[in-house]
Structure 1
Amino acid sequence: MTVDGLFNVFSLLQDHAERSPRRLALAQATGRDKAGRFVYATRTYGQLQADIEGLTRGLRAIGITKGSKTLVLVKPDLNLPVIVFSLFKIGAVPVIIDPAMGLTRLLACIRKVEPDAVIALPLIHALRPFLGDVFRTVKTFISNGSAWMPATHRLAHLRHASEGDAHTEPTLGTDLAAIFFTSGSTGTPKGVEVRHRNLGAQIAHFGALFPVDPQDVELAAFPVATLIGPCLGQTSVIPDMGSLHPGRCNPHNLVQTIEDFGITSGFASPIVWERLSRHCVAQGVRLSTIKRAFSGGAPIPYTMLARLAHLLPHGVMVTPYGATEVTPISSIDAREIERDTAALSASGHGTCVGRVVPGLTVKIIEIDAQRLPHWQDVTLLPDGVIGEIVVRGALVSQAYHNDPENTALAKIQADDGDQLDPFWHRTGDAGYFDAQGRLWCCGRIKHIVHADGQRYFSVPAEEILNAELEVWRSALVEVQVNGQAQLCMVVEFYPEHLAGIHAARIQAFKDKLHGFGFPVRHVLTYPHAFPVDRRHNSKIERHILARWAQLQLDKGVPS
């Protein structure tokens, strides 16, 4: 790949399709046979390439060309990689927005991005007459349903086009490849502009960090895995999750698919691994074929890592750290966590996210809520001092689409004149480097709380409690008592331990937090599952918990 010359990310998939056309690329559970076992739809690399070429011809025939921003709102099934790679091949720009963010936010994102075309579920098209000017810029509508709809093309018809142009558009590495919207868990969702070179570098990093064996088969329980896997030449299996909501996934389904394919690696959000691992412990199941388990979206508690270590006798959990704007930034595996960092996390040091991947530069700068237009405006911090994590390199997105205000807040102009990587990205995460050169995360800057004139970071305090046997999740929030800011820890306990949580145990939690420098005055038991982001089902919505905690204290609930 020549990052400053011609490069189209589709070429990565194409290379594997031409070398190994008979290799299985994708499989998806589509139903069950009479014996109750899953039945799978499959695509070899050769079939996948043929599907992509057919859809490429169909899309070009209806006017989708290089640069066409195309909103993709479909289920994460076998159609998704065909659609996205066809758009890459054309040089069009897929726009990926998670509908789980809620209708109001979804519509605001669509207005912001101003798409030229829409490929969506029939329900989205049925709602078009009731959505005002949301689709005012759209010239081409495509439904992935089978029913005829007015002024709408059918995806199934387009993908079987036998005539027309299927060539790969010559794109530069610096050309816009896609727009991926953030989850908006700490603010308004933003459209991250990703260049072909960004995606190429991302794939190269994953391939170098986690080399793929020709026999590897991945459990793609996270939609992005179906886009990464084909570029690495591996087989990706889409399981029947039993629910579109990761927090309600059916772990029995996942176990069956792992057994059916002899899954060797898996990519899922933390809540999926939590549900799967607890199910396996309860049923006495071990996942002996898995060599690597990947997770992302939120830190994984050590209790889960320890549970998975028992369930994966020949494997290890790997937790890359990153964001929609740059992934991966760093990586660490469960063995290093168990050996070196778990005890430190349990004593208030935060979460170790490992060593920075090759090719990226990461610095820690003084936390500042204001814009920092130029690198000369920042104050660099030494190792061991918590500040904002900033990143630069080929993996880093340079802008938010049609959003100059948020772009200006998140980007810092470098001072060396590099035209390929001209900006430092402000992650919005607080963290520091330790003496061994490992990066530690201390939570979102927006989650900093205050008491007695001091500031406190969320993750270091939460990891102290998360190390306790009874605790599933915790959240440090700020409350007001008699006009003074105080610290409160809201806790979600494992159901089987809830009966054993009494006043003395709560006091022990407070004493432990005080011992590590966190003057937490209140510990409250949350009566339900924590509110979390809808994409990963793992990022805690702390502002909701803060309001709830304040209400409890105002009512005089013992804490």
Structure 2
Amino acid sequence: MTAACNIAAALPRLAAEAPDRIAMRCPGSRGPGGFARHDLTLSYRELDQRSDAIAAGLAKHGIGRGTRAVVMVRPSPEFFLLMFALFKAGAVPVLVDPGIDKRALKECLGEAMPEAFIGIPLAQFARILLRWAPSARTRITVGRRWFWGGATLAQVEAAGANAGPQLADTAGDDVAAILFTSGSTGVPKGVVYRHRHFVAQIDLLRDAFGIRPGGVDMPTFPPFALFDPALGLSSIIPDMDPTQPAKADPRRLLHAMKAFGVDQLFGSPALMKVLADHGQKLDGLRRVTSAGAPVPADVVAHIRALLPDDAQFWTPYGATECLPVAVIEGRELQSTREATEHGAGTCVGRPVPPNEVRIIAITDAAIPDWSQAQVLGAEMIGEITVAGPTATDEYFNRPQATALAKIRETLPDGSTRVVHRMGDLGRFDAEGRLWFCGRKSHRVRTALGNLYTEQVEPVFNTHPEVARTALVGVGEGSDQRPVLCVEMAPNLPMSEHERVLDELYRLGMGYVHTARIHDFLIHPGFPVDIRHNAKIGREQLAAWAAKQPRVPRRNA
């Protein structure tokens, strides 16, 4: 019998090989008298057996193979038990970032047409009040149920107790999950993940980072904790709000790392900045991974200084639709810092095998067939495309978005594959390294040619009295006016703002591409994405900039 293609298939194997190894630990809130008030742990045996029981109980409540089920549960043992149970059952969990705009969230839930809604009491209450997911006829509450009916997760687990193994014989092409993008660069879209995509991600992550079983990981972005059991790792789920990594308490994180022997950490650039600013040595860590947006060069340098000399700091490049695409280690990234600060873009490393990454000419139109794409050579900026085992095929119920993001390619042997358009712009250098230049939708189209965010902003971000900058275009078509929005360093007196803007203007005049920028606007605080608190909301900034009075700077 062919083994199931399923991310949860590793659980029974690990439960047999290392039944008492900790699979997951969720420290509770830190109290005045000690670290964890409610320190909950799951061994591999417990994770396997309890997820079996929940899968069997879900089946008794009509949630089985192919059932789309919204999951709105905070990071907790229940979340991970539930997710593995859904995978084992062959059901299709639907995950939406809880922090996105409530109207967009309602649209996402309606678009997914779920048949079940699994959530904490607050989510169930919001479902009724805001009329979320009316198609969901089955309701499961994680926690105390009130007036809305349905079963609790505890009742579901009890109903499936002692049912035995529940792993469905899922095939690679079966739909495994629908993961909605954060919507940080547009309307959130439901990415259709098939079981083969998850399994391929495990293989690529293991090989790219040299991950071996037995390590202890702290994944501060909860969905990544789902990979840990399949990699044979123990997960420490931190006591923090994953939707606000910039507000995480570094003392709690560091205490948990030391208390539980964490040697691997995954976090967004915002979380890395929290740890960098805190400045405490990260002695126990051997591998740190940061993704979601480019990691600022100074943050890379600070984190590298806090890590042991033999530790690695990886920054993978990818997206919800395709991950990982390329990777670069911190030492090499630091060596490219000067080029980045002079307008080269951000180096994201080399493609992860067996991905095939190619650069094509920029167009906003759909490309139905690869024969219609114009492939560019080294040092030419275009759109980044990826073909490989983790490149997803489609968006759920979004044929137009699918057409704009996917290209059908016929291979020499007559088979076909899907090439994913990243929506990012970049180039390959002479050494075969990929450089990210910015989002395609964020390019500023001027009469003298395009300007790209990741080639412009790092130039100005070198100013010591600037927190960060954002390039936006004002106007339509190919004659936009480039505007640099500036977020000043904290505590800089307003009396100094004009001086800094003058210095930025003179700094920009030193480069051919930035010399075209004459408009500089101070913004009190950039809008950022919910998921990583790192991607700047340039669409919102562009709308804001268009309403501001224009005072262009000129040469004295």
TM-score band, normalised by shorter chain: over 0.9
Distance 1:418 1:251 in 2: 53
Q: 1:512 to 1:203 in 2, by over 3 A?
A: same
- The answer as to 2:330 corresponding to 1:334 is yes
Distance 1:259 1:493 in 2: 35
Residue of structure 2 equivalent to 1:301: 296
Q: Deviations over 1:214-244 (max 9, x none)?
A: 4421112111221111111111111111675
Aligned residue runs from structure 1 range 271-350, under 5 A:
271-280=270-279, 285-314=280-309, 315-339=311-335, 341-350=336-345
1:548 Cα deviation (Å)? 2.7
Q: Deviations over 1:104-163 (max 9, x none)?
A: 01110111110111111212222344444x433222111102234443110122123325
1:418 Cα deviation (Å)? 7.3
Aligned residue runs from structure 1 range 66-81, under 5 A:
66-81=65-80
- The answer as to 2:367 corresponding to 1:369 is no
1:498 Cα deviation (Å)? 6.0
Q: Deviations over 1:63-120 (max 9, x none)?
A: 1111111111111222222111111111111111111112101110111110111111
- The answer as to 2:179 corresponding to 1:183 is no
Contact 1:22 1:45 in 2 (8 A): yes
Distance 1:344 1:371 in 2: 33
Q: 1:85 to 1:534 in 2, by over 3 A?
A: same
Q: 1:124 to 1:336 in 2, by over 3 A?
A: same
- The answer as to 2:490 corresponding to 1:490 is no
1:417 Cα deviation (Å)? 7.4
Contact 1:13 1:233 in 2 (8 A): no
Q: Could you tell me which amino acid in structure 1 is paired with residue 16 of structure 2?
A: E
1:296 Cα deviation (Å)? 1.0
Distance 2:370 2:447 in 1: 33
- The answer as to 2:356 corresponding to 1:358 is no
Candidates 1, 11, 14, aligned match of 1:13: 11
Residue of structure 1 equivalent to 2:426: 431
Once the two structures are overlaid, the 10-residue window that deviates more, 261-270 or 383-392, is 261-270
Q: Deviations over 1:237-266 (max 9, x none)?
A: 111116752222222211211221232111
Q: 1:484 to 1:417 in 2, by over 3 A?
A: closer
- The answer as to 2:537 corresponding to 1:522 is no
Distance 2:196 2:414 in 1: 13
- The answer as to 2:217 corresponding to 1:218 is yes
- The answer as to 2:448 corresponding to 1:457 is no
Residue of structure 2 equivalent to 1:261: 260
Q: Could you tell me which amino acid in structure 2 is paired with residue 425 of structure 1?
A: H
1:34 Cα deviation (Å)? 5.1
Distance 2:21 2:302 in 1: 34
Contact 2:243 2:532 in 1 (8 A): no
Distance 1:397 1:499 in 2: 48
Distance 2:50 2:480 in 1: 59
Unmatched segments (≥5 aa) in structure 2: none
Q: 1:258 to 1:445 in 2, by over 3 A?
A: same
Q: Could you tell me which amino acid in structure 1 is paired with residue 11 of structure 2?
A: L
Distance 1:508 1:344 in 2: 21
Once the two structures are overlaid, the 10-residue window that deviates more, 141-150 or 87-96, is 141-150
1:490 Cα deviation (Å)? 1.3
Contact 1:449 1:477 in 2 (8 A): yes
Candidates 141, 150, 157, aligned match of 1:143: 141
Contact 2:174 2:195 in 1 (8 A): yes
Aligned-residue sequence identity (percent) comes to 36
> What secondary structure, in the 3-state scheme, does the structure 2 residue paired with 1:228 have?
helix
Contact 2:242 2:531 in 1 (8 A): no
Q: Could you tell me which amino acid in structure 1 is paired with residue 314 of structure 2?
A: V
> What secondary structure, in the 3-state scheme, does the structure 2 residue paired with 1:16 have?
helix
Contact 1:146 1:156 in 2 (8 A): no
Distance 1:417 1:113 in 2: 36
Q: 1:419 to 1:398 in 2, by over 3 A?
A: farther
Once the two structures are overlaid, the 10-residue window that deviates more, 463-472 or 292-301, is 463-472
Q: Report the count of equivalent residues.
A: 548
> What secondary structure, in the 3-state scheme, does the structure 2 residue paired with 1:495 have?
coil
- The answer as to 2:162 corresponding to 1:167 is no
Distance 1:84 1:114 in 2: 19
Residue of structure 2 equivalent to 1:543: 539
Q: 1:445 to 1:75 in 2, by over 3 A?
A: same
- The answer as to 2:154 corresponding to 1:156 is yes
Q: 1:470 to 1:289 in 2, by over 3 A?
A: farther
Contact 1:302 1:467 in 2 (8 A): no
1:170 Cα deviation (Å)? 0.6
Q: Could you tell me which amino acid in structure 2 is paired with residue 89 of structure 1?
A: K
Distance 2:127 2:382 in 1: 45
Distance 2:151 2:408 in 1: 44
Distance 1:320 1:537 in 2: 17
Q: Could you tell me which amino acid in structure 1 is paired with residue 453 of structure 2?
A: S
1:398 Cα deviation (Å)? 0.4
Distance 1:371 1:490 in 2: 31
Q: 1:182 to 1:516 in 2, by over 3 A?
A: same
1:557 Cα deviation (Å)? 9.5
> What secondary structure, in the 3-state scheme, does the structure 2 residue paired with 1:379 have?
coil
> What secondary structure, in the 3-state scheme, does the structure 2 residue paired with 1:218 have?
strand
Q: Deviations over 1:475-521 (max 9, x none)?
A: 0012369x974322112233155679554443332233232222111
Q: 1:149 to 1:415 in 2, by over 3 A?
A: same
Q: 1:9 to 1:485 in 2, by over 3 A?
A: closer
Residue of structure 1 equivalent to 2:436: 441
When normalised by structure 2's length, the TM-score is 0.93
Contact 1:303 1:467 in 2 (8 A): no
Q: 1:247 to 1:112 in 2, by over 3 A?
A: same
Unmatched segments (≥5 aa) in structure 1: none
> What secondary structure, in the 3-state scheme, does the structure 2 residue paired with 1:186 have?
coil
Q: Deviations over 1:426-448 (max 9, x none)?
A: 11100111100011111111001
Distance 1:498 1:82 in 2: 51
Candidates 460, 470, 476, aligned match of 1:475: 470
Q: Could you tell me which amino acid in structure 2 is paired with residue 386 of structure 1?
A: I
Distance 2:304 2:126 in 1: 47
> What secondary structure, in the 3-state scheme, does the structure 2 residue paired with 1:100 have?
coil
> What secondary structure, in the 3-state scheme, does the structure 2 residue paired with 1:328 have?
strand
Q: Could you tell me which amino acid in structure 2 is paired with residue 541 of structure 1?
A: G
Distance 1:181 1:242 in 2: 19
Once the two structures are overlaid, the 10-residue window that deviates more, 147-156 or 251-260, is 147-156
Contact 2:76 2:237 in 1 (8 A): yes
Distance 1:389 1:148 in 2: 49
